[in-house]
């Protein structure tokens, strides 16, 4: 008697994101083995990331290098005027569409691009270790030096925070155990009479002996000090939780808490998500909120499912001497935390909407879009600084379209091997149906293979153009989710071959249209016992 086809369904493939950490044997189909140039969309589907559109038109001409922009600062003055500053090739620029170099003070020399900036009291401050700090005053045409306080020069540090009514500077050469606070509401005063400025010496505060300050942050009314191996939280002794750190000496600032055994290894990995701080440690991406709550290092950190691969790439960045180029951004609009590793050419994207049951975040990777600088503007636009890519010039770009400049890019999804609850019998694949949202006019390559082999059979399908928006429904109540008449595509292809474990994959050239995978149905006959 002829055997009936069985339907082996993968609903919401890669809903749980990448898992390159655990053994692929028997791994849940909700995890992906490859999720490249992907995000998890707001409906929980794996889909193509967006690309970028160029903002800057004269990047190469003014930068003088293909390296690109390495730091971005948006400044909104008290009168509502917005100025964007960009740093690259030992210069500072302002503008977006057209970059204009802004003059340094006479005789000033810049030898590095590791700037940290902050808006404070209607000024922008520029700090960098080994360089006198600079200031831009709203409406000015040039930069000025932050003045000395009497005969004492302001600190020259790599890390800068505006918070609690002060500027805070640390990572000063040969003094990376100290934090310097400016006078209240005065970023120009760091020494002198009145003692409204202060210095915190952490020599005897570190919970595990000597450590060095890597990053500073403000969180829930606390001054958070990230060392390489530990974390310190300060609070104003005269104020309640969430106070303004109005203390005038180090003696009147209270050590609130310490966290041992984990710290931050990359200054620009620290991002506030509103109710939490995310950062890169030597164990992966961590949540400060979880560390405080659990009072221990979580076994299941945010990056648990990609930890080994991620940290190998991080080690590669530091081994090349470019650990300082690891940067990050948190986008509330897109609900993700992204970590860029420029030397490796990889971006890790962590979805923050729905953590998995163990608290880890769903992860995907991006390639071909490796920014040197990232920031989120006040209007929630994600702005990136890119070096020269192909024919595209270095520039400020906006994450907002389904092409990289005017060029297509490749999205890839591959499942882990699946036996669909039957680890002992052959499966003879006959047909595969895929439900795709979007992809109008684009070509998708279907892949299938057997028993852990990377030798895949491939078949291409080109999608037609639909006429209605998906479900005729608006996303975020602003516009149709997929505009341009894109709805559900349901291609069906004939397949062949046999094996106990089945791996399927889709590769799509993204060229202007969104693309996400709703469901994969595999029709197979069950064969003999193996």
What's 470's domain CATH number?
2.60.120.260
3-class DSSP assignment, residue 417: coil
Question: Which backbone phi and psi does 307 adopt, to 5 degrees?
Answer: -55, -50
* Domain-ending residue, one of 146, 169, 192: 146
| pTM for this model (two decimals) | 0.92
Copy the structure tokens of residue 431: 């047909």
Residues 418 and 515 in one domain: yes
Residues 163 and 134 in one domain: no
C-alpha to C-alpha distances, 220 to 54, 143, 241, nearest whole angstrom: 37, 33, 8
pLDDT of residue 329: 98
Residues 479 and 444 in one domain: yes
Residues written for the chain: 530
**Within a domain: residue 218?**
yes
Q: Name 99's Cβ contacts closer than 8 Å, sequence gap at least 6.
A: 56, 58, 59, 62, 63, 86, 93, 396
User: What total of structural domains would you count in the chain?
Assistant: 3
**Within a domain: residue 75?**
yes
The tens-digit pLDDT sequence of the chain (530 residues) is 446 677 878 888 899 999 999 998 878 889 999 999 999 988 889 999 999 999 999 988 888 877 789 999 999 999 999 999 999 999 999 999 999 999 999 999 999 999 999 999 999 999 999 999 999 999 999 999 999 987 789 999 999 999 988 999 998 888 888 999 998 899 999 986 555 678 888 988 998 888 999 999 999 889 999 999 999 999 865 544 444 444 445 455 788 889 999 999 999 999 999 899 999 999 999 999 988 887 777 767 899 999 999 999 999 999 999 999 999 999 999 999 999 999 999 999 999 998 999 899 999 999 998 899 999 999 999 999 988 777 778 889 999 999 999 899 999 999 999 888 888 888 898 999 999 988 888 889 999 999 998 899 999 998 876 544 444 444 433 344 444 445 788 889 999 999 999 999 999 999 998 999 999 998 888 888 87
DSSP single-letter state for residue 56: -
Separation CA 161–CA 168 (nearest Å) = 5
Among 169, 176, 262, 175, CA closest to 212: 176
pLDDT of residue 244: 44
Residues 88 and 37 in one domain: no
CB-side neighbour CA atoms (13 Å) of 220: 10
Q: Give the number of other Cβ atoms within 10 Å of residue 412's Cβ.
A: 18
**Within a domain: residue 126?**
yes
Among 210, 157, 206, 150, CA closest to 181: 157
**Domain span including residue 493:** 6-49+410-529
Please give the biggest Cα pair distance in the chain: 98
pLDDT of residue 466: 54
**Within a domain: residue 270?**
no
3-class DSSP assignment, residue 214: strand
Residues 60 and 80 in one domain: yes
Separation CA 374–CA 68 (nearest Å) = 12
Residues 417 and 511 in one domain: yes
C-alpha to C-alpha distances, 404 to 51, 297, 327, 366, 390, nearest whole angstrom: 5, 39, 20, 12, 11
Separation CA 459–CA 444 (nearest Å) = 8
Q: Name 181's Cβ contacts closer than 8 Å, sequence gap at least 6.
A: 166, 167, 168, 197, 198, 199, 200
pLDDT of residue 252: 58
Q: Name 264's Cβ contacts closer than 8 Å, sequence gap at least 6.
A: 214, 215, 226, 227, 228, 231, 270, 279, 280, 281
**Within a domain: residue 109?**
yes
* Domain-ending residue, one of 215, 239, 261: 261
Residues 422 and 523 in one domain: yes
Separation CA 176–CA 184 (nearest Å) = 23
* Domain-ending residue, one of 261, 278, 307: 261
3-class DSSP assignment, residue 380: coil
DSSP alpha helices (H): ranges in 7-100?
Answer: 59-63
Q: What share of the chain is helix, strand, coil (3-state, %, to 5)?
A: 5, 45, 45
pLDDT of residue 55: 94
How buried is 201 (Cβ within 10 angstroms: 0-12 exposed, 13-18 middle, 19+ buried)?
A: exposed
Separation CA 466–CA 487 (nearest Å) = 6
Copy the structure tokens of residue 428: 């003879």
How buried is 519 (Cβ within 10 angstroms: 0-12 exposed, 13-18 middle, 19+ buried)?
A: middle
What strand order describes the sheet that includes 213-219? 213-219, 222-227, 230-236, 253-260
Asked if 360 and 304 count as a contact pair (C-beta separation under 8 A), the reply is: yes
Find the CATH number of the domain harbouring 112.
2.20.25
**Within a domain: residue 196?**
yes
**Within a domain: residue 275?**
no
**Within a domain: residue 301?**
no
Residues 447 and 513 in one domain: yes
pLDDT of residue 471: 46
Residues 114 and 225 in one domain: no
Residues 24 and 69 in one domain: no
Residues 73 and 156 in one domain: no
3-class DSSP assignment, residue 192: coil
Residues 425 and 509 in one domain: yes
What strand order describes the sheet that includes 71-76? 71-76, 82-88, 91-94, 100-101
Q: Give residue 283's Cα distance to chain centre.
A: 17
């Amino acid at each position: 008697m002829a055997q009936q086809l069985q339907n082996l369904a993968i609903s919401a493939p890669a809903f749980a994101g990448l898992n390159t950490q655990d053994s692929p044997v028997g791994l849940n189909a909700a995890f992906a083995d490859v999720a490249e140039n992907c995000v998890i969309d707001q409906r929980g589907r794996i889909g193509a990331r967006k690309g970028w559109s160029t903002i800057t038109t004269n990047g190469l001409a003014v930068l003088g290098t293909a390296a690109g922009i390495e730091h971005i600062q948006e400044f909104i003055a008290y009168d509502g005027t917005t100025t964007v500053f960009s740093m690259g090739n030992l210069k500072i620029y302002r503008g977006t569409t057209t970059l204009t170099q802004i003059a340094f003070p006479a005789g000033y020399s810049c030898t590095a691009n590791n700037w940290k900036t902050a808006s404070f009291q209607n000024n922008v401050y520029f700090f960098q270790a080994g360089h006198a700090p600079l200031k831009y005053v709203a409406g000015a045409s040039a930069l000025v030096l932050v003045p000395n306080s009497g005969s004492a020069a302001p600190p020259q540090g790599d890390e800068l925070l505006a918070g609690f009514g002060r500027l805070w500077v640390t990572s000063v050469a040969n003094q990376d155990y100290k934090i310097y606070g400016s006078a209240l509401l005065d970023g120009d005063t760091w020494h002198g009479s009145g003692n409204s400025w202060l210095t915190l010496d952490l020599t005897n505060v570190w919970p595990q002996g000597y450590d060095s300050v890597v990053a500073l942050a403000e969180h829930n009314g606390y001054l958070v000090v990230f060392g390489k191996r530990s974390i310190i939280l300060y609070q104003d002794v005269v104020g309640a939780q969430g106070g303004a750190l109005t203390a005038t000496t180090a003696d009147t600032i209270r050590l609130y808490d310490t966290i041992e055994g984990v710290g931050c290894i990359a200054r620009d990995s620290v991002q506030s998500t509103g109710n939490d701080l995310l950062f890169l440690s030597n164990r992966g991406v961590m949540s400060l909120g979880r560390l405080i709550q659990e009072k221990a290092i979580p076994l299941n950190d945010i990056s648990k499912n990609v930890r080994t691969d991620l940290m190998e790439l991080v080690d590669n960045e530091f081994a090349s001497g470019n650990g300082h180029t690891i940067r990050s951004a948190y986008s509330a609009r897109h609900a993700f935390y992204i970590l860029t590793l420029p030397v490796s050419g990889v971006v890790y994207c962590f979805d923050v909407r729905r953590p998995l049951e163990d608290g880890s975040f769903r992860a995907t990777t991006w390639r071909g879009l490796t920014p040197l600088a990232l920031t989120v503007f006040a209007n929630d636009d994600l702005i990136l600084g890119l070096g020269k890519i192909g024919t595209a010039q270095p520039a400020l770009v906006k994450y907002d379209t389904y092409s990289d400049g005017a060029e297509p890019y490749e999205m890839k999804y591959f499942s882990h091997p699946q036996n669909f609850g039957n680890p002992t019998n052959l499966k003879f694949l006959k047909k595969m149906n895929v439900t795709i949202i979007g992809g109008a006019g684009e070509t998708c390559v279907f892949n299938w293979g057997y028993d852990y082999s990377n030798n895949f059979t491939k078949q291409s399908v080109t999608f037609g153009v639909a006429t209605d928006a998906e479900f005729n429904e608006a996303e975020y109540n602003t516009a149709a989710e997929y505009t341009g008449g894109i709805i559900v595509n349901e291609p069906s292809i004939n397949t062949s071959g046999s094996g106990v474990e089945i791996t399927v994959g889709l590769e799509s050239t993204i060229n202007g249209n969104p693309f996400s995978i709703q469901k994969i149905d595999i029709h197979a006959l069950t064969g003999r016992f193996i």
